[in-house]
Structure 1
Amino acid sequence: MRIKATLDRIPGGMMVVPLLLAATINTLFPDLLRIGGFTEALFVNSSSALIALFLLIAGTQINLRTAGTSVKKGVTLLTYKWVLGALVGLLGFWLADSNGLFLGMAPLAIIAAMTNSNGGLYIALAGQYGKEEDKAAYPFLALSDGPFLTMVALSIFGTMGFANGMFSPTSFIAVLLPLIVGVVLGNLDSEMKDFLSKGSDKLVPFFAFSLGMGINFTAIIQGGLSGVLLGVITVVLTGGGGYLIFKWIGWNPIVGASEGSTAGNAVGTPVAIVAANASFGVHAELATVQIAASVVTTAILLPIFIGFLSKHLDKKGGVAKYNE
């Protein structure tokens, strides 16, 4: 039985399939795995610890010494995606209905989904359409992994009166510290960076399953269509925005559009946000399933969108002129 090969063929499969499987178990047989001991510790209560470890490992892959054009491209991609996602999230807070939702979407989900990008998908698309300096921009994009930039946006909106308030400094540091430790370790010792990088992917299905054990299937039904809408918005706005910005600067616009996705690990962002500020807990479950739906939607839609943009660009000389 080729379980891994099957999961690899499903967009975001390593994250989404375990999450949905656990949500199904939690909905139909909620006490099945809540039997104490190692079983409950791993399959039900492990998400916070595993996400923290994932963030630490992600931090080791951020090379602070990278310079040149790759820095400019990476910082540009990171900045515009965060600004755009934060602005749409702010719009969501501003126009939210009595349930605190905007077009059925939780503003927390909007910010988390639109500011996080699928690094593997970016590397694949940048490798196909771009050049080495485009792929080398990826370490800066890793700064968007996890809850940090989402927390920054929510803190700003808290001071503006839109969100539920600021995060306490201690809570903010408590969530961010694993990432900082990873950055320090990875930049001090390249061997430690290589050693830790081998474990990150293995954590994903396990913390995804644990997250799923906190989700009721009715929430997936409620969040599914709005999650798909969130994915479409992410592709069109952040992918299209990246295309236009890179084209305006004179860089390969296809590489800019390659950021128009939602990262699989963004599914863990609502849990981290609630850990720092419990007032966001009211929409955490809904936000989680909407982000999961966005992960799948963007993984399917973005390559199609890129193909369309590439054909459009071919009429004007193609991407070759940007890769000279």
Structure 2
Amino acid sequence: MKIKATLDRIPGGMMVVPLLLAATINTFFPNLLRIGGFTEALFVNSASALIALFLLIAGTQINIKTAKSSVGKGVTLLVFKWVIGSLVGLLGFWLADSNGLFLGLAPIAIIAAMTNSNGGLYIALAGQYGKEDDKAAYPFLALSDGPFLTMVSLSIFGAMGFATGMFSLTSLIAVVLPLVIGVVIGNLDREMGDFLNKGSDKLVPFFAFALGMGINFEAIIKGGLSGVLLGVLTVLLTGGIGYLIFKAIGWNPIVGASEGSTAGNAVGTPAAIAAANATFAPIAELATVQIAASVVTTAILLPIFIGFLAKRVEKNGGLAKYNERN
């Protein structure tokens, strides 16, 4: 049975198949693997640890030259995703109906879903299609975690004031530190860096599965068609425009498209916003389920979208021409 060959034929297969398999198990048999011990530790609770290890290994391959590239890519990813999500959200406020909805979507759901990306998906996709400085751009994306950027957007729109406690320097350091340790190891001992790098690709299906164990397909039902629409728009707009921006700059466009997702922690954003400004309380519950549906939709759709984009790039000269550049 040729499992790897089969996965390789599926767009984003090494990521999407384990993720969907786990999501199916979590939806219909949620306690099947939650039995404690090594089983639960590996298949349910390992995502954060494996992603941290993935980052550390990526760091071992970074020198000063690629570090500059990582900063540029990370900042570009962070800024363009925030700008796109904010502009679409602003359009939602302008064109909202009498119920305060745009295309059935709460504008705060649009901003939260489009500005907050799934770091695990980005790491997996950048690891599969990009190179070390693409993976090392991830820590900058941690700035989008939680409600902070959504509240900045709302503040700019004049809808509410800035709220304190929405960004933690400690949390940012906690994300960056594994990468920094990897950089130190790789620059102190090149052989050790090469040794660690041999196992990085093998981590992808394992943390993809663990990510899937946090997905429940019921979220799509609760969020309805509007939530699915939000997920589709997030993939096509933030992923598609990211693709075009990176291609225009001369960077790997697949990496730019890899930001087209919604993070699970975005689900808590409406409640945080409603707590800071009661004006948003009536719409918070609807926004929450719409974001949850977007999380699931983008987790399924983005790897498939990326797979098709990668085939398109391969027909036009391949990814190698981008991955050979700094």
Identify the TM-score tier after normalising by the shorter chain: 0.5 to 0.7
Equivalent-residue separation in structure 1 for 2:21 and 2:82 (angstroms): 23
Instruction: Give the alignment's TM-score, normalised by structure 1.
Output: 0.67
Offset, 1:118: 0.8
Residues 1:174 and 2:194 are matched in the alignment: no
Equivalent-residue separation in structure 2 for 1:100 and 1:260 (angstroms): 25
Give the partner amino acid of 1:242: G
Equivalent-residue separation in structure 1 for 2:226 and 2:140 (angstroms): 30
Conserved in 2, the CA contact under 8 Å of 1:11 and 1:300? no
Equivalent-residue separation in structure 2 for 1:263 and 1:11 (angstroms): 19
Residues 1:267 and 2:277 are matched in the alignment: no
Conserved in 1, the CA contact under 8 Å of 2:271 and 2:284? yes
Give the partner amino acid of 1:135: K
Give the partner amino acid of 1:279: T
Offset, 1:282: 1.0
Q: Which residue of 1 aligns with 2:240?
A: 240
Conserved in 2, the CA contact under 8 Å of 1:220 and 1:286? no
Equivalent-residue separation in structure 2 for 1:11 and 1:271 (angstroms): 30
Conserved in 1, the CA contact under 8 Å of 2:220 and 2:292? no
Give the partner amino acid of 1:132: E
Q: Which residue of 2 aligns with 1:103?
A: 103
Equivalent-residue separation in structure 2 for 1:297 and 1:208 (angstroms): 10
Q: Which residue of 2 aligns with 1:123?
A: 123
Equivalent-residue separation in structure 2 for 1:11 and 1:153 (angstroms): 36
Offset, 1:273: 1.3
Alignment length (residue pairs): 247
Offset, 1:278: 1.8
Give the partner amino acid of 1:113: A
Instruction: Give the alignment's TM-score, normalised by structure 2.
Output: 0.67
Taking a change above 3 Å as real, the CA distance of residues 67 and 132 of structure 1, as seen in their structure-2 partners, is closer
Give the partner amino acid of 1:70: S
Give the partner amino acid of 2:241: G
Taking a change above 3 Å as real, the CA distance of residues 287 and 146 of structure 1, as seen in their structure-2 partners, is same
Structure 2, unmatched stretches of 5+, are: 1-17, 31-47, 182-210
Taking a change above 3 Å as real, the CA distance of residues 208 and 278 of structure 1, as seen in their structure-2 partners, is farther
Q: Which residue of 2 aligns with 1:74?
A: 74
SS at match of 1:142: helix
Moved over 2 A (4+): 8-14, 180-191, 219-223
Offset, 1:239: 0.4
Taking a change above 3 Å as real, the CA distance of residues 99 and 11 of structure 1, as seen in their structure-2 partners, is farther
Residues 1:112 and 2:112 are matched in the alignment: yes
CA RMSD of aligned residues (A): 3.6
Equivalent-residue separation in structure 2 for 1:173 and 1:11 (angstroms): 40
Equivalent-residue separation in structure 2 for 1:152 and 1:236 (angstroms): 23
Conserved in 1, the CA contact under 8 Å of 2:143 and 2:172? no
SS at match of 1:173: coil
Equivalent residues in 2 for 1:34-73 (5 A)?
67-73=67-73
Taking a change above 3 Å as real, the CA distance of residues 229 and 187 of structure 1, as seen in their structure-2 partners, is closer
SS at match of 1:174: coil
Conserved in 2, the CA contact under 8 Å of 1:71 and 1:137? yes
Taking a change above 3 Å as real, the CA distance of residues 11 and 157 of structure 1, as seen in their structure-2 partners, is farther
Give the partner amino acid of 2:115: T
Q: Which residue of 2 aligns with 1:304?
A: 304
Offset, 1:313: 1.1
Q: Deviations over 1:110-132 (max 9, x none)?
A: 00000011111111110111000
Conserved in 2, the CA contact under 8 Å of 1:105 and 1:227? yes
